[in-house]
Structure 1
Amino acid sequence: MSNDFNSNSRSGYRAKRKKTNIVLNGLIIVVLLLIIFVAYNIFASGDDKAAPKKESPKTAQKDTEHKEVKDKKKDENAKKDEETKKDDSSSDDTAAEDQPSEETTTPEKPDDSQAVVSDGGTSSNVLKTIENPSWKPVGTSQTGNHTPVYSGTDWDEMLNAISYATGLDPSNMTVFWLGSDKSTTNASIGTVHSKDKTQKYKVYIKWVDGQGWMPTKVEELAELQR
């Protein structure tokens, strides 16, 4: 009786152990299958991302045509810009040719060594009088018969002659008075001073046909008077 009980116990234990092993083995197989499935999905999705997208022949052809059109337009725009620059350059050259050069409108600096300086002058307000045979006409852009006009181009050319005779820079010269010299045909008289009024002059100028205004006499003044 005791032997039969022990035999049944051992038999039940082995059956239970066998059943447990089957369950464990099944679970292991399931886990392995899950691992394989997950790994496959990871590698498969990685390959899809890494694989370059292939363009269809039609798409590639369209891209090529688009690039060719874009390059053509770029070349055309570059040619237009170059032609525009050439036209601008030609216009600048033409304008430069039309404008009188500085040499033709302003004579060389007078030779002060030839200046004749004397004390006094036409009035008691004159400190000294200066006459210089090296003075020349300052040039002109005017043509035809000339009559003094105290505005515009004629005015500017008169001031150019006065600046030339006195040595005052136009930016430092203020006109006190400028008008006709009634004692001489086609002549003018101007009274000017430096901006700080330390230099005051009365300048006599005359018109030379085709050559412009030329200084004839400069008087250094004690006070500003007409």
Structure 2
Amino acid sequence: MAYSHHEDEPFYAFKELFKQINNGDDRQCLPIPHFLHCLEIQIDAKMNDKWWKQKGWLAMQTRYEERQKKRRQNLILNGLIAIVFIFIVIVGAQLLSSPSSQMEASQSPEENEQPLTKQTGEEESMNKSETGERDEDIASPDEEHMREEDGYRFVGGGPDGPWEPIGTKQTGEHVTQYTRDSLDWQEMEMALAYGAGIDHDDLTVIWLGNGGDPQRAKGQVKSDNEPNTIYHVTIEWIDGEGWKPIEVQTEQ
């Protein structure tokens, strides 16, 4: 039975050696010692031959292992290179972004202060408007009870007040006049009626005299509609503003 060198390569190699020993004739036989000596020489030559090493199973396995090792080494080396490249990119990005972030941080306080200033101005205006509204609300009750008559101004009034100077038409240095026809007497009557809460047309002056001070006067008045109620009113002169009630007592 013939064997192919693809099926049994060692046998084919041995057969080739046999031909070489017998000068190309594989049927010719040499003496055994000479044959063995020639066979040993040929085997040593084949073992040192490059073709034998490349065709041997051991050489093929060794090359496969070497290729696998080189492949693993290449994979490891490529992975390390990729890691180093990524690290360099990250560090470079941080270095590039750091100056811009610092500039933004240095500019942000000024930018933030401007809205705060605007907001503070708006709050001040709102506070002023609210204060004005509260002042108007506070002043509104007095204004509701305020009346003007012949150039005189009456705010609030009555035994419980509040009271303000009623104004005056007098000029120059004030001197209290207890004469009924004098302007000062007329203004004192208006101040007494204002403090007692009586209409000037319904006022009856029982007594009017000095209140213990040159710029003070005191009077007893009543209303024609309620003659049984007597009001003791003390008034005081305010320069440039006229007479002002400062105390009211009621007697039934």
TM-score tier (shorter): 0.3 to 0.5
Higher relative contact order (CA 8 A, sep 6+): 1
Larger radius of gyration between Structure 1 and Structure 2: 2
TM-score, normalised to structure 2, is: 0.37
